[in-house]
């Protein structure tokens, strides 16, 4: 019994010391020092001591209630709802990623086709095309120049 009283008294003594004021100051060597009693003749700034655990837990609980989150474990229905929500988000992200990949591949294909057409027109060889009626004919120099301008524009737009 006496041992319990002594242990309790020592614990209270240490707890009172832990709540003491702390100070911050710069010593003569320019180093920042901290302590509970600053040396005389030094401009010491008092530091804020954190509050005890009970008073700091109360605002945290208030913040959780303000944000609309529940404290404690979720019910099975809530877990299922969260799971389905995560699954839907994952599917949307996967679909978006797949679409971006398809668009990127289409841009690469368009660029390659435009570059191939431009190389063909710049090769100096005779160029033959098929018209709407299905008949083939060769382009003259003026038509090749027009087609080259169109191909250069397509390359500049497709190969950015």
**If you average pLDDT over every residue of the chain, what do you get?**
82
- Tens digits of per-residue pLDDT, 33-72? 988 888 888 888 888 866 655 444 445 444 544 455 556 7
**pLDDT band at residue 8 using 50, 70 and 90 as cut-offs:** low
Percent of the chain, pLDDT > 90? 36
Q: How far apart are the C-alpha atoms of 110 and 120, rounded to whole Å?
A: 15
In this prediction the pTM is 0.45
- Tens digits of per-residue pLDDT, 64-104? 444 555 567 889 999 999 999 999 999 999 999 999 999 99
**pLDDT band at residue 17 using 50, 70 and 90 as cut-offs:** low
pLDDT at res. 103: 93
Nearest in space to 48 (alpha carbons), one of 11, 69, 22, 30: 22
Higher pLDDT, 106 or 54: 106
Alpha helices by DSSP H, 1-140? 2-18, 53-67, 76-122
Q: How far apart are the C-alpha atoms of 136 and 115, rounded to whole Å?
A: 23
The answer for 41, left when phi > 0, alpha when psi is -120 to 50, beta otherwise, is left
Nearest in space to 51 (alpha carbons), one of 60, 64, 62: 60
**pLDDT band at residue 19 using 50, 70 and 90 as cut-offs:** low
Higher pLDDT, 93 or 30: 93
pLDDT at res. 39: 86
CA angle, 106 then 111 then 117, to 5°: 125
pLDDT at res. 119: 92
pLDDT at res. 1: 66
Nearest in space to 22 (alpha carbons), one of 7, 13, 32: 32
Q: State whether the Cα torsion 84-89-94-98 is positive or negative.
A: positive
User: Is residue 127 packed enough to be buried (19+ CB in 10 Å), middle (13-18) or exposed (0-12)?
Assistant: middle
Nearest in space to 102 (alpha carbons), one of 94, 113, 90: 94
Q: Provide mean pLDDT across the span 8-32.
A: 74
pLDDT at res. 58: 47
């Amino acid at each position: 019994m006496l041992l319990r009283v002594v242990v309790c008294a020592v614990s209270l003594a240490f707890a009172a010391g832990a709540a003491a004021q702390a100070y911050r100051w710069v010593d003569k060597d320019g180093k920042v020092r901290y302590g509970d009693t600053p040396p005389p003749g030094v401009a010491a700034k008092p530091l804020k001591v954190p509050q005890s655990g009970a008073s700091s837990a109360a605002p945290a609980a208030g913040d959780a209630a303000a944000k609309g989150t529940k404290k404690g474990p979720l019910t099975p229905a809530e877990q299922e709802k969260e799971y389905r929500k995560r699954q839907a988000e994952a599917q949307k992200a996967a679909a978006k990623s797949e679409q971006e990949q398809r668009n990127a591949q289409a841009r690469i294909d368009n660029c390659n086709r435009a570059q191939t057409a431009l190389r063909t027109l710049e090769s100096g060889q005779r160029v033959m095309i098929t018209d709407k009626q299905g008949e083939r004919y060769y382009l003259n120099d003026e038509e090749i120049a027009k087609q080259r301008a169109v191909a250069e524009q397509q390359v500049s737009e497709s190969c950015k």
